[in-house]
Structure 1
Amino acid sequence: KFPIPEKITDKGADFLNTFGEGAKSLKQNPIHLLLAIVVSSSIWIIEGLMLWLFSIALIHSNFEFEIALFASVMGNITFILPLLPGSVGTYEVLVGSFITLSQFYSQDALIIALVDRGVKTATLLVLGGYATMVLQSQRLKRKEILDEAKIDDKKELEIEKN
């Protein structure tokens, strides 16, 4: 037998416990499950809509939304497959292949997939960077407030001692 390091088994157990707690939470509050489904579905539809709009804008063709949605979903699933770092190339090939099935030339399909990936990545970088900066500044402000509160508490304790 191949021994599994304790650190890995602990992480696995923690993951399963957390997953179980989340499942219980969804069972106790079905509205959270409904909300998760609505938000997730909206995100997938927006992803497919972006791909569909890129195809229309770039190629001026009658591209079916359902195919764009399916291609987008399949392309995004490649992100969870550890084939290449960041799914570089895998996403473009898979999305391009699905678009080619919709009677596009393979070069046009690849261009659509590359533009789709580029715009989505740029959007993620800009909005993600902005969100990170905002969250970091809020965290620093909270830390400053807590630090000031601790200093005030220490001063009050010193005054009470005297």
Structure 2
Amino acid sequence: MSAIDFSDPATIAFLTEELMAAGVDGLEISRPGGQLRIVVAGKDGARISSTGATPRASGLAPGFASAIVKAPMAGHFCVEHPATSAAPQNLPRSVSDADIVGFVGVGHILLPLRAGRSGVLTRLLAEPGAVVGFGDPLFEIELPS
């Protein structure tokens, strides 16, 4: 018996559809590197959330630190909400810990990516529209010293 790949967007979409069809309230999967939770919100959809460590990266000038925003689940990476007609924001730009800096989508489900740290969003580490896996680095935020 082979293991299920919970980092595959198609697997997550399939699980979500099956949970909704079966009338199940949700599913939680825990692994050493993180946790995936699918909560069915009703007939109209589901909410997917995931947790994982956000390690600090090095390589900046002395006195500076950075944080990496990682993909909380597998899916398609979007810098801007797909329904928005606003022009994309240029980098670098200031962000607060609660700012939404991008999205990861699986089917019709879109998970917002919060900065998680206040600082300056300096680099895009993944190509917009690319399929990303759980834990893939997406953004770099320079933290105030």
TM-score, structure 2 as length reference: 0.29
Larger radius of gyration: 1
Scaled by the length of structure 1, the TM-score of the pair is 0.27
More helix by share: 1
Higher-strand-fraction structure: 2
